[in-house]
């Protein structure tokens, strides 16, 4: 008997044994999550082996849409370019709750050695790059499909509607493009039906099965930094005849490091300013005319963001002037702070404790990572939760972080993620 057949039989048995419209019991959710776990693992491995970059998630979106249609959900495709929205209407009217998973991968060369490791490549900003699910979005897709399977099997017992949002381009679109949560919202992901609240789960290298979050500000706001410098080209043997772009880039990096380390009070609010790429030149003996650098800014308050942007732009322009070049720092693609609704944060600990008893931390530390889930939270009450996925034989201090080419998870925790999503949805619809 296939996994999907097994889940279908279990769902029918649950419905037959339940009084009409009675809320599904914890035991029934536990049993259904356990039954669908092998399929969740299979989905995870499939998506992991075939990763796709932001706004290129064609295969992933097709897989998601197919599985949601098998479950009998109303399905909208092409939302926010490659996004998919599934709608599950319960046995009687009620509130509307949304669950969200992101689908995109990263331009990272996988080094996990897994039998289902990615060998994919793609074009990103004009370059051929390797592609890997280095941030766990493969698990997010699989867990949300698992939650949809469990909830579809309990459809008759649900008073309300569950919306499943499978979002592209969370990591950000290519420069000059648009996508992600912003475009999903513009395309009506939170409308028809109108969503009352939304929940999201993100896997990471924390303790297995831990569910962590905090009220109000949780993940940092992020801005993409691009620095362009126009100088004067010269032969490498005659640096005095032009502008030494290597020296310009070095001075800019040092200046920005000083801003974050010495010019602001990080004790009042964590702040990160990072340069990640430096692009200049094509030959070893030619000093180029152009320099482009890129990086990221992470802050937790609008005031700190404005302060760092002003200092960065002033420092970059001054360095350019000192060398006789024109230098400019531009900040784009802003993500706001991921804000967990205070009242919903207090309430959600109950459903999460059902999913992972004794392993819920509702006062987790601030996270300098960023998430465009924050944009949904600007529209409706939202809570974003971290799921720990570190393998038992991996020391906490040495666990590869998200975006590492070695990032991997203990697949057993996917069952906890499914239960967390199911309990959050069911309990929200049932609460007065």
The Cα 44–Cα 146 span in angstroms is 10
Mean per-residue pLDDT, 342-355: 98
Residue 413 inside a domain? The answer is yes
Q: Is the pLDDT of residue 310 over 80?
A: yes
Asked if residue 14 is part of any domain, the answer here is no
Could you confirm whether 335 is annotated as catalytic?
yes
Domain finish residue from 301, 320, 335: 335
User: Which of residues 361 and 25 earns the better pLDDT score?
Assistant: 361
| pLDDT tens sequence across 352-408 | 999 999 999 999 999 999 999 999 999 999 999 999 999 999 999 999 999 999 999
Q: Is residue 71 predicted with pLDDT exceeding 60?
A: yes
Q: Would you call 284 helix, strand, or coil by DSSP?
A: coil
Clarify whether residues 284 and 266 are in a common domain. Answer: yes
Q: Residue 239 pLDDT more than 80?
A: yes
- Residues 399 and 48: their CA atoms lie apart, in Å, by 19
Q: Give residue-wise pLDDT tens across range 132-160.
A: 999 999 999 999 999 999 999 999 999 99
Output the domain CATH number for residue 370: 3.40.630.10
**Average pLDDT value for the chain:** 95
Domain boundary among 316, 335, 354: 335
Q: Which is the catalytic residue, given 213, 219, 335, 428?
A: 335
Q: What is the pTM (predicted TM-score) of this model? A: 0.92
Q: Are residues 54 and 185 in the same domain?
A: yes
User: Could you tell me if 58 and 153 lie in one domain?
Assistant: yes
Q: Do 211 and 226 share a structural domain?
A: no
Which of 305, 335, 365 is the C-terminal boundary of a domain?
335
For residue 431, which of 97, 73, 182 has the smallest C-alpha distance?
A: 97
- Is 98 a member of any domain? yes
Asked if 245 and 141 sit in the same domain, the reply is no
| 425 shares a domain with 367 | yes
In a domain, 142, yes or no: yes
pLDDT above 60 for 25:
yes
Q: Do 354 and 323 have their domain in common? A: no
Q: Is the pLDDT of residue 8 over 70?
A: no
Mark whether 398 and 300 lie in a shared domain. Answer: no
Share of the chain above pLDDT 70, in %: 95
Shared domain for 305 and 321, answered yes or no, is yes
Q: What angle do CA 432, 201, 112 make, to 5 degrees?
A: 165
Residues 135, 260: one domain?
no
Domain range enclosing 327: 221-335
Q: How many residues does the chain have?
A: 432
Report yes or no on 322 lying in a domain: yes
Q: What is the pLDDT of residues 187-230, one digit of tens each?
A: 999 999 999 999 999 999 999 999 999 999 999 999 999 999 99
User: What's the confidence (pLDDT) of residue 13?
Assistant: 40
Pairwise pLDDT comparison (2 vs 371), residue with the higher score: 371
- What is d(CA 341, CA 348) in angstroms, rounded to the nearest whole number? 10
Please indicate, yes or no, if residue 15 is contained in any of the structural domains: no
Overall domain count for the chain:
2
Residue 365 lies in a domain: yes
> Which residues have CB under 8 Å from 414's CB, separation 6+?
37, 40, 41, 44, 139, 142, 143, 146
Give the confidence band of 22 by pLDDT, cuts at 50, 70, 90. low
Kindly report the CATH number assigned to the domain that includes residue 308: 3.30.70.360
H helices, E strands: number in the chain: 10, 18
What pLDDT sits at residue 14? 39
Q: Please tell me the predicted confidence (pLDDT) of residue 303.
A: 96
Q: Are 226 and 295 in the same domain?
A: yes
Regarding whether 395 and 275 lie in a shared domain, the answer is: no
Asked if residue 174 belongs to a domain, the reply is yes
Among residues 49, 77, 289, 411, the one annotated as catalytic is: 411
């Amino acid at each position: 008997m296939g996994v999907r057949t097994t889940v279908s039989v279990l769902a029918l048995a649950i419905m037959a044994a339940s009084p009409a419209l009675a809320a599904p019991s914890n035991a029934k959710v536990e049993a259904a999550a356990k039954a669908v776990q092998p399929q969740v693992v299979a989905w995870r491995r499939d998506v992991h082996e075939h990763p796709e970059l932001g706004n290129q998630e064609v295969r992933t979106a097709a897989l998601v849409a197919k599985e949601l249609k098998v479950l009998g959900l109303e399905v909208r495709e092409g939302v926010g370019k490659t996004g998919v929205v599934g709608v599950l209407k319960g046995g009687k009217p009620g509130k509307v709750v949304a669950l969200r998973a992101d689908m995109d991968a990263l331009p990272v060369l996988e080094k996990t050695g897994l039998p289902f490791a990615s060998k994919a490549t793609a074009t990103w900003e004009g370059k051929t790059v390797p592609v890997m699910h280095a941030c766990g979005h493969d698990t997010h897709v699989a867990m949300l499909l698992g939650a949809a399977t469990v909830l579809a099997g309990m459809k008759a017992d649900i008073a309300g509607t569950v919306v499943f949002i499978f979002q592209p381009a969370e990591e950000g679109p290519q420069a000059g493009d648009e996508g992600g949560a912003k475009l999903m919202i513009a395309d009506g992901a939170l409308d028809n039906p109108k969503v009352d609240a939304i929940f999201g789960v993100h896997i990471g290298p924390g303790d297995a099965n831990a569910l962590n979050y905090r009220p109000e500000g949780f993940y940092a706001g992020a801005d993409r930094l691009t620095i362009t410098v126009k100088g004067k080209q010269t032969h490498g043997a005659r640096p005095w005849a032009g502008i030494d772009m290597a020296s310009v880039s070095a001075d800019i990096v040092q200046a920005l490091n000083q801003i974050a380390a010495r010019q602001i009070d990080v004790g009042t609010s964590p702040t990160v300013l990072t340069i990640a790429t430096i692009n200049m030149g094509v030959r070893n003996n030619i000093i180029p005319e152009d320099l482009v650098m890129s990086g990221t800014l992470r802050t937790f308050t609008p005031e700190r963001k404005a302060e760092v942007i002003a200092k960065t732009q002033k420092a970059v322009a001054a360095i350019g002037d000192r060398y006789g070049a024109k230098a400019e720092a531009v900040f784009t693609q802003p993500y706001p702070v991921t804000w967990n609704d205070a009242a919903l944060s207090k309430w959600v600990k109950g459903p999460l404790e059902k999913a992972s008893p004794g392993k819920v931390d509702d006062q987790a530390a601030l996270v300098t990572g960023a998430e465009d889930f924050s944009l949904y939270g600007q529209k409706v009450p939202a809570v974003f939760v971290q799921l720990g996925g570190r393998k038992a034989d991996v020391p906490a201090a040495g666990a590869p972080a998200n975006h590492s080419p070695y990032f991997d998870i203990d697949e057993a925790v996917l069952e906890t993620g499914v239960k967390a999503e199911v309990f959050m949805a069911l309990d929200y619809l049932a609460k007065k």
